[in-house]
């Protein structure tokens, strides 16, 4: 399937976000909230199926634009996984953020080998999660 990579959610509507994102989340954001996440992020890269027009993968980044960036979400919908889309999204985002000192991601141990391929290294993190807000609350 031909994939086009986009650096902006401009013009994107919620119905163009493919079903299957946030797989396994007990209380996932609805597509409109997902779109708000993309619009509210300083940087995004989107993978769009050129045939269907559906966005099938995305990565977003929050940053101060000077020193630090955080990548909260990277996802490819299950039916498009294992085709190199996640690698391409990460490659593009890391290039976008390449002038910054620190680029952080929090992930499960099982995903550390995936991120190590981009020169990232394991470290420690502290988290707080408000699970009653997991579906998102646009401000
Ligand atoms: C992680 C994820 C984004 C990878 O996307 P993808 O498009 O399937 O990945 P790619 O096809 O680009 O894979 C690139 C390489 O990473 C490997 N890889 C993919 N997913 C992996 C995983 N979960 N753990 C370890 N390696 C993984 C692939 O096997 C592939 O290796 P190869 O080059 O030797 O074949 C995707 O599995 C996903 O959306 N998972 C659910 C959400 C998630 O866990 N996101 C990360 C949150 S921190």
Q: 45: helix, coil or strand?
A: strand
Q: What is the DSSP letter of 64?
A: -
* Cβ–Cβ < 8 Å for 62, 78: no
d(Cα 61, Cα 73) in Å, to the nearest integer?
A: 8
* Phi and psi angles of residue 131, each rounded to the nearest 5 degrees, phi first: -65, -25
**Predicted pLDDT at 138:** 63
**Predicted pLDDT at 92:** 98
Q: Is the CB of 86 under 6 A from ligand 1?
A: yes
Q: Is the CB of 76 under 6 A from ligand 1?
A: yes
| Nearest atom of ligand 1 to the alpha carbon of 80 | 7
Which token pair is 16? 């163009």
Q: Is the CB of 110 under 6 A from ligand 1?
A: yes
Which of 16, 21, 1, 28 lies closest to 53 in space, CA to CA? 16
pTM recorded for the entire structure: 0.96
| Residues in Cβ contact with 93 at an 8 Å cutoff, skipping those fewer than 6 apart | 43, 45, 59, 61, 71, 74
| Residues in Cβ contact with 110 at an 8 Å cutoff, skipping those fewer than 6 apart | none
**Predicted pLDDT at 1:** 79
Longest dimension (CA), the chain: 41
Rg of the chain taking only CA atoms, in angstroms: 15
Q: What is the DSSP letter of 18?
A: P
**Predicted pLDDT at 137:** 81
Q: Is the CB of 84 under 6 A from ligand 1?
A: yes
**Predicted pLDDT at 31:** 97
pLDDT tens for each residue of the chain, 139 residues long: 799 999 999 999 999 999 999 999 999 999 999 999 999 999 999 999 999 999 999 999 999 999 999 999 999 999 999 999 999 999 999 999 999 999 999 999 999 999 999 999 999 999 999 999 999 986 6
**Predicted pLDDT at 54:** 98
């Amino acid at each position: 399937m031909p994939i086009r990579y986009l650096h902006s959610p401009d013009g994107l509507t919620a119905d163009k976000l493919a079903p299957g994102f946030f797989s396994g989340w007990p209380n996932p954001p609805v597509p409109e909230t997902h779109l708000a996440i993309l619009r509210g992020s300083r940087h995004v890269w989107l993978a769009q199926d050129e045939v269907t027009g559906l966005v099938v993968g995305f990565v977003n980044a929050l940053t101060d634009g000077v020193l630090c960036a955080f990548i909260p979400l990277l996802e490819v919908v299950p039916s498009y996984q294992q085709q190199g889309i996640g690698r391409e999204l990460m490659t593009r985002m890391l290039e976008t953020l390449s002038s910054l000192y620190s680029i952080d991601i929090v992930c499960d141990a099982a995903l550390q080998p995936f991120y190590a391929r981009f020169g990232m290294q394991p470290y420690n993190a502290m988290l707080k999660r408000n699970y009653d807000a997991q579906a998102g609350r646009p401000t």
